[in-house]
Amino acid sequence: MKNRWSKSAAAKFVEKHAKSVNKDIALRLYSSHLQGKEPSLVLHGGGNCSVKSSFNDIFDQQIAAIYIKASGHDLAKLTSEGLPGLHLNRLKKLTALNTLDDAQMVNQIRCNLFDSQAPTPSIEALLHAFLPAKYIDHSHADAILTLSNQKNGEEQLKKAFGDKVIILPYIHPGFSLAKAVAKAYAKKPTASGMILMQHGLITWGEDALTAYTHHIEIVTRAEVFIQNRINRIRSKKSVSIDAAKKQYRELAPILRGELALPSNNPDTPYKRFVLSSIIDSETLNILANERGEKRVISPPLTSDHLIRSKPLPVWIAEQDQITPAIANYKKAYLKYFKKQSQKKQVPYDSSPRVAFIPGVGAVCAGENVEQANIVRDITKQTLNVKNTIASMGEKYTGLSEADMFAMEYYPLQQAKLANEQQPPLAGSIGMVTGAAGAIGAGICRELLANGCHVAATDLPGTHLDSLVADLNKQYPNRIIAVPMDVTSPEAVNEALGQIIDAWGGIDIAIINAGLAHVCSLSDMKTEDFNRLQRVNIEGTLNVLSTMGCILKKQGTGGDIILISTKNVFAPGANFGAYSATKAAAHQLARIASLEMAADDVRVNMVSPDAVFSEGKRKSGLWAEVGPDRMKARGLDEAGLEAYYQNRNLLKSAVTAKHVANAVLYFVTRQSPTTGATIPVDGGLPDATPR
Q: What's the alpha-carbon Rg for the chain, to the nearest Å?
A: 30
User: CA-CA distances (angstroms) from residue 562 to 229, 372, 480, 534?
Assistant: 62, 30, 21, 16
User: CA-CA distances (angstroms) from residue 588 to 560, 581, 600?
Assistant: 12, 11, 18
Q: Return the H-helix or E-strand segment holding 527.
A: helix 526-532
Out of 3.40.50.720, 3.90.330.10, 2.160.10.10, 3.40.710.10, which CATH number does the structure's domain 429-682 have?
3.40.50.720
**CA nearest to 358, candidates 503, 239, 274:** 239
Residue 232: pLDDT band with limits 50, 70, 90: low
Q: Which letter does DSSP use for residue 476 in this model?
A: T
pLDDT at residue number 179: 97
Distance CA 94, CA 108 (A): 9
Assess whether pLDDT exceeds 90 at residue 642. Answer: no
State the average pLDDT for the chain: 93
Distance CA 284, CA 241 (A): 8
Distance CA 375, CA 144 (A): 20
SS3 353: coil
Percent of the chain clearing pLDDT 90 (strictly above)? 85
Dihedral angle sign, alpha carbons of residues 196, 197, 201, 206: positive
SS3 683: coil
Interval 357-373: pLDDT, tens? 999 999 999 999 999 99
pLDDT at residue number 419: 55
pLDDT at residue number 643: 86
pLDDT at residue number 675: 97
Q: Which letter does DSSP use for residue 534 in this model?
A: I
Interval 493-538: pLDDT, tens? 999 999 999 999 999 999 999 999 999 999 999 999 999 999 999 9
Stretch 419-431: mean pLDDT? 86
Break the chain into its structural domains and give their ranges.
7-227, 241-418, 429-682
Neighbours of 673 (CB within 10 A): 14
Q: Are 45 and 147 contacting, i.e. CB atoms less than 8 angstroms apart?
A: no
Assess whether pLDDT exceeds 80 at residue 387. Answer: yes
Fold of 241-418: L-fuculose-1-phosphate Aldolase (3.40.225)
Interval 546-571: pLDDT, tens? 999 999 999 999 999 999 999 999 99
Domains 7-227 and 241-418 share a fold: yes
Residues in the chain: 690
CB under 8 Å to 121, separation ≥6 — which residues?
68, 69, 70, 71, 84, 86, 109, 113
Residue 619: pLDDT band with limits 50, 70, 90: confident
- Which of 312-326, 406-420, 426-440 has the least mean pLDDT? 406-420
Interval 43-88: pLDDT, tens? 988 899 999 999 999 999 999 999 999 988 999 999 999 999 999 9
Interval 586-618: pLDDT, tens? 999 999 999 999 999 999 999 999 887 777 777
Q: Are 35 and 215 contacting, i.e. CB atoms less than 8 angstroms apart?
A: yes
Q: Which letter does DSSP use for residue 575 in this model?
A: B
Q: Does domain 7-227 bear CATH number 3.40.225.10?
A: yes
Measured distance between the N- and C-terminal CA atoms of the chain, rounded to whole angstroms = 72
Interval 145-184: pLDDT, tens? 999 999 999 999 999 999 899 999 999 999 999 999 999 9
Sheet of 314-315: strand order equals 274-278, 361-366, 354-357, 314-315
Give the residue, 281 or 615, on which the prediction is more confident: 281
pLDDT at residue number 28: 98
Interval 183-195: pLDDT, tens? 999 999 999 999 9
Stretch 679-686: mean pLDDT? 94
pLDDT at residue number 621: 67
Dihedral in degrees, nearest 10, Cα atoms 281, 287, 291, 294: 130
Interval 3-17: pLDDT, tens? 999 999 999 999 999
577-580: which pairs have CB atoms within 8 A and are 24 or more residues apart?
577/517, 577/519, 577/524, 577/528, 577/529, 577/532, 577/533, 578/514, 578/515, 578/516, 578/517, 578/532, 578/536, 580/529
pLDDT at residue number 418: 59
**CA nearest to 454, candidates 436, 434, 431:** 431
Q: Are 153 and 397 contacting, i.e. CB atoms less than 8 angstroms apart?
A: yes
pLDDT at residue number 420: 59
Residue ranges of alpha helices (H) inside 241-355 are 241-259, 281-288, 292-296, 306-309, 322-341
pLDDT at residue number 632: 74
Distance CA 677, CA 110 (A): 54
Distance CA 423, CA 25 (A): 36
pLDDT at residue number 416: 62
Assess whether pLDDT exceeds 80 at residue 631. Answer: no
pLDDT at residue number 335: 94
Q: How far is CA 58 from the centre of its chain?
A: 42
